[in-house]
Amino acid sequence: MSPKRREVVVPPKVVEHLQSFKPSPEEFDAVKAMLTDLGGDPNLGYKIAFLRDLYRVDVGRFRVHYSITPDHIGVSFIGVY
């Protein structure tokens, strides 16, 4: 039996921030695919040092920050730095 999938919650402000970097269609599809994958396995990323309960996964030039709860993955940042 596979582990329970979690809902991935991406607030509209996070999507606006992503769009401000003008991702190509391929980059957008890659980020979307990673978010889908995170719903099934939130351990694809790694814990950010010194920040409590915040994880990061890289998708090309984009960084995705998220937190994990028993019910969902909360995305707080998608962008470049």
1 has a pLDDT exceeding 60:
no
Q: What pLDDT score was predicted for residue 50?
A: 87
Q: What pLDDT score was predicted for residue 3?
A: 65
Q: What pLDDT score was predicted for residue 80?
A: 94
Q: Does residue 66 sit in helix, strand or coil?
A: strand
Q: Does residue 70 sit in helix, strand or coil?
A: coil
- Distance of alpha carbon 66 from alpha carbon 58, whole angstroms: 11
Q: What pLDDT score was predicted for residue 81?
A: 82
43 has a pLDDT exceeding 70:
yes
pTM over 0.85? The answer is yes
Higher-pLDDT residue of 2, 40: 40
Contacts of 74 (CB under 8 A, 6+ apart): 9, 66, 67, 68
User: All domains of the chain, ordered by start, with CATH?
Assistant: 7-79 (3.30.2310.20)
